Every structure is written in C-alpha cells, then in structure tokens.
Structure 1
Amino acid sequence: MKQTAILFFCLMILFPASVFAHPGTLDELGGHFRNSDCTYLLHKPTALAKQAKTKEELIKLIQTYNGNERCKRNLTPERIDLDGHALGGNEDDASLRLGRTYEAALVECVDGDTAKFRVNGHVYTTRFLFIDTPESTIEVEPYGKEASQFTCSRLQQGNIVLETDGNTLFDKYQRLLAWVWVDHRLLQEELAKAGLVEDVYDYGNYKYESRVREAYEEAKRNGVGMYGGRSVAGNERASSETKRESTSDTKREGTPNTDPQAEEEMNQTDRAPSREQEASASERSGHPILYTLLGAAAAAAVYWLIRQLK
C-alpha cells in the first residue's frame, strides 16, 4: 500500500494535473486544448475571455488560466479556434448564428462537399448541408474528382453567401454547416442536377432540402453524371467480357470444328508428321557412321590382301 502511494505521488509530480483531466473539461475562459494537435477551442467564452479583443490578448489569458503546460508553451494565434464566437464582447456583430446569411470569401477548395471560407475575419471549414459527394481526398471514389472540380470551378465564378440552417452550427468535427450560394444559385442543387451527389442526409428540417432532393432524383432518372451508366467496376467487367468474346471469336474463325474430340484428333494428326520427320532425321543422322565403318573395313581388307600377296 505504501509503495502504491509513493508511485502515485511520483506520477503527480512528473505529469501535470491537466494531463489526467478529461479533454472536454473547460477552463475559466470557457475553452480547452485539443490534445491531438494542441489547438485551443473556445467553446463557451466566459466574461473573462471576452475581455480579450484580439487573439494575442486571449493567448495571455490562456497562459494564465489554463493548466496545460505542454500545449500553451507553443501557442500561436493560428492554433486558436474561436468556434464561431467573437472577441471583445461584440458577439452580435461578428459571431455566426442559425438562420442567418453571411458573405464569404473562398480560402480553399477541399472536395465536392467541403471548402474553407473566410467569414467575419475567421476561416471556417464548411461542410455543405444535406449532400454527400464521392470522396476525392483520402480515398478517391468514382466521380470524386469530377465533383471536386465542379465545386471548385463554381466557387471561383461569383460572390459567395453562406446560409446557416438546421439545429446546429457545427458538426462533430467542428465544421460549419451551411447552404452555399454562388451568385444567387444554390450550389448543392447544382451539384445534384449534375449527377454528382451520391446521397443526401436528413438530420433535421432543412430549408431547401426539397429542391435538392428533386434535382437529385431527376439526375438519377435521366442518367446524368454518375448515374449515366455502369460504375467503374461494371465497365471493367464489361471490358473483360468483351476481350474474352473477341478471343473466342478469333478461335472459332481459325478452327471451324470446335468439337473437343475433333480438335484432339486434329492435334494428333498434326503431331504424327512430326514424329515421322523426327525418325527420318534420326535415320539420316545415323548414315554417316555406317559409311565410316564400311570404309574402314574395306581399307583393312585391302591392306590384308596386299600383305598376303607379298
């Protein structure tokens, strides 16, 4: 028992209390560090946190009131996620709310249904509401690259407005959820019309879901985009079958009689002349030896006769 107590005491000295704390526990500012990459997430800013007007001022508060020594040692403004909140107490002017529209600037295209936008001075990784397009990042699925190219091309063509909707601003990966408008045209609907939406998800009552669903079903009925024919796997199988049929046709053209027994008899007939030719060649190859022996015998006989005559 005494040894266990000593071990526990040593662990408490070696490791700060924040290491043992649950990663979701909020500090006095209303935030916490994400241990995987030491990003500071300001989930519920308290009055203390709202005293900071800039991220630099917030860092000073974090250095004072947060106990995660490892993460706050190298904390920079880029590693602070305000989670949609504003600094300086001007939350009504800058933070995002449900059911509002916000002008946005494209920062980065990620894939067919995800992009990064700058809104009110903050960059949000944004997941497009209601649609799923084929993957093109970690895993490249059929039509994934086409969906990504379509989205990036549209986002670069006009003014962007994000519209929040549903029951929550962010998903479990802290991505902003929004409808995406480009020059007054709904991007989710355009992707669906182009046959680049593989599925829709319905986690709430969304404002434009009927428009997108109608475009999605229409693309499937008309065979547009990814619904225009066989999948990649189907095309590969079809190509393989075509090759087999082509090979089979070539064999039939070259060999009119396709009966297995007839083919075997034909093969035996073809092999017979070869055996005769081999035998003939063997016989011919033996003749020079016979001629040599006969010549030697004749020479010996002549030599014997000459000796007798002497």
Structure 2
Amino acid sequence: MIIFVFTIFSFFILPTLTAAHNGARDELGGHFRKADCVYLLHEPSSIAKTAANMEELIQLIKKYNSNSSCASGLSKEKVDLEGYSFPNQSKTDQTEVLPPSVDMSSTEGPNEAIKLGMRYPAELVKCIDGDTAHFKINGQTYKTRFLYIDTPESTNKIEPFGKEASTYTCSYLRSGNITLETDGDRVFDKYNRLLAWVWVDDQLLQEEITKAGLVEDFYDYGNYLYEDRIVSAMAEAKKLSKGMYAPSDEEKNDIENKSVAIPDKTEETSTDNTQTEKIDNNQKDESSKAKEKKNEENGISDKVIIGLLVIVFLYIFIKRKNRK
C-alpha cells in the first residue's frame, strides 16, 4: 500500500507541484509570466546559450515558445535573464534590460529602507488588482507585488474572475491591520515593485484568496516560506470547486444529464426480486408436479405387483384343488 501511494505521488502529484512552481518551461529553459508577459529565463539551455545578445535571444524565444500572444510583443525590457550573461558580455553590460525606473548608479533608494526577511507595518494607499497594491511604509509609498500568487488580470485587460479577484483583495486589505513580510532572494523586482507576503491581522492574504479560487497560477522569483500553504490552499479550492474552479453551467448540465441517465437501483432490485420469486414459485410448482407424477407411477407399480400376486395365488389354489 505504501509503495502504491509513493508511486502515485511521484508520477502525478509531484510533477504537478513542480510545474505550478516553475511554470511550463520551453526549450530555452524559460517561460512567460502570465501576469505581464515577462519572459523568465530560469535555466538557459544549450539552445539559449547560442544567442550572442538580447536581440538573438528574443528571436529564439519567438521561435521556440508556444505563447504567441506574449512573444509577438516581446522586447528586451520584458526579458528577465535572472543573472545569466551572454557569451563575451559581462553582467554590468546588460543593465540596459532594466526599466528606466531602476537607477543602477545610485546607492540611495528604497533598497536602503527595506531589508529581506523582515516584517513591516504598512498602510494601504491604493488597491490595484488581485495581486498588486500600493502601501506606505515609514512614510514612503511602495508599489507592491504579492509574492507567489498570480490572479487574473483586471487592469490592462479583463480576464475571467479578474474583477472578482480585485474586489476580494481590496475588501480584505481594508478589514484589518496590514503587515508586509519580505522573503526570497530579492526585495524588489525589475520593475522596482516591492515583493512581499501580505498579512491582514494574523491571516495571510495570499492563502485566503487562493482558497477562494481566485488564483490561477504561481510565479517563480525564488524559494519562499509559505509555498506549501499556498499549494495546499489551491488544492482545497479545486476540491471544493471554489471561484474559477467551480463547474460551468454546461458542465453542471452534463452532470445532471448523467445523473438522470443512471437507472434507479431500487426499482431494479425490486424487479429482480419479483422475477426471482416467480422463478422460485415455478420451480416449486414443477417440483410438486414431478413428485405427484412419481407417486402416481409408484401407485400403478404397486397395483400391478398386487395383481400378479393374486394371479399366482389363484393358480396355486386351483392346481391343488384339481389334484384332490
């Protein structure tokens, strides 16, 4: 039994969790992030390493990645090399891929105020959507991207359940005291957004909105403290058919039609019992008739024997009488 459970986990559950965390990588070793079509080059493959510069890498992405909608508008500002350097090119030569909002020459800025692995009391300034908001920490406002979760879009484009996710987050953020917790291997992303877990009182917002079925995917910026909680919340949402994981009207109709098509087992059992009783009665009748027939045959045999005995007796009696 233990071997069977381990096999199921290894072949079905474990690959699902890994895919949810890292995304479906293409032949270059990267994938597009659903939230903003940024291409994340996690582990450059031999094909990716053939690119001598950003322009050649973009051409390879367009060739090998199946997400044509994101690939069509891809530019160098939307490629995150995650530390990878092109051949004969140093990392400092690649600072051009960062957006203008990040000043690489300055030692001052938000990074001085916010440190990794810390918690900071925060005040909501503006709610953007299901996974983004502006918070004020120590008098400074930070646009914050919620760690690990990816909710449907409701700003640049409207996706199914995007508005529901936005409404849920905005309402939840106004329900208690907010604390932001930094985690992973970076404080800010390439767009200068603060990356943080969001606590409202003692509840983790990312976990609660995932349980509500309003998170469609996870994104990979590193390893995080509460990944397991979010993965479990996703499994619960799917099991309970919450939010976007609830069956559609068409699926509901299919389920209802299937339930109608299933015959009533009670009626079948009753019919089977009646038929069984009829068979038993018929068998009893046939058995009774057989016994009666056998008795009749036995009665005839007895009469024949008695008749023969009478004849023999009369024969002997008459023969003796004649001798005398």
TM-score normalised by the chain length of structure 2: 0.46
- TM-score w.r.t. structure 1 length? 0.48
